Amino acid sequence: MTEEIRAAIAAERRDQAELLSGLTEEQWQAPSLCAGWTVKHVVAHTTLPFRSSGRRVLWEMLKSAGRFNHASDRMARADALLPTSELLDSLKNNIDHPWAPPGGGPAGALSHDIIHGLDITVALGLGRVVPHERLAIVLDGMKPANVKYFGADLDGKRLQATDMDWAFGEGDTVVEAPAQELLLMVCARRLS
């Protein structure tokens, strides 16, 4: 299974590198679904593991009193000042990079890439559909702890994908939508 997930990560990064290569500078500066971040901030964040040492990340975590999201925001804002071409090259040159978030393993790395890819493509209205075999790996790993981490309010709701066999949650209110839209709901992204 790990080889399958690694192949999915590489395919997702390759697809994203191709898509990002075609963006205009205005699109790079456009808002993403990540509150307060442009597309460029998101790419700075997703390529951080390829460009930064563990020492830098640890130092930023210490400066943020252990609050990862705070440190991550500060690093993304600083790294978004890098040339767009440098961020894009960082992605292109690390298609097969073995990075995985602490405790997340390869499935966590795929989730990270897909969710942040959607933060970009949905915000820009590009209509990209993540291949279902990749989405299935991410969705199958969703747990109540993920909902809590992201701060999504799914109380009383059952999410049901209309384009693949996936459901999540308990409740009388059934929310039906394409799988990638439901993933964004789990991640508390605002789609409107």
Average pLDDT over residues 95-114: 95
Contact by Cβ (8 Å): 61, 51: no
Starting at the edge strand found earlier in the chain, the sheet holding 167-168 runs 167-168, 157-161, 173-177
**What SS3 state is found at 153?**
coil
Q: What is the CA radius of gyration of the chain?
A: 16
Q: What is the pLDDT of residues 36-81, one digit of tens each?
A: 999 999 999 999 999 998 899 889 999 999 898 899 999 999 999 9
pLDDT of 190 over the 90 cut: no
User: Distance (Å, rounded) from C-alpha 31 to C-alpha 124?
Assistant: 8
pLDDT of 178 over the 70 cut: yes
Average pLDDT, the chain: 95
Percent of the chain with pLDDT strictly greater than 90: 87
**Structural domain boundaries in the chain:** 2-141, 142-192
| pLDDT score at 124 | 98
| pLDDT score at 192 | 54
Average pLDDT over residues 97-119: 95
Average pLDDT over residues 91-101: 96
pLDDT of 108 over the 70 cut: yes
Percent of the chain with pLDDT strictly greater than 70: 99
Average pLDDT over residues 84-99: 97
Q: Is the dihedral of CA 62, 70, 5, 13 positive or negative?
A: negative
Average pLDDT over residues 149-162: 94
| pLDDT score at 38 | 98
Average pLDDT over residues 76-87: 97
Task: Tell which CATH architecture fits domain 2-141.
Answer: Up-down Bundle (1.20)
Tokens linked to 84: 């767009």
**What SS3 state is found at 130?**
coil
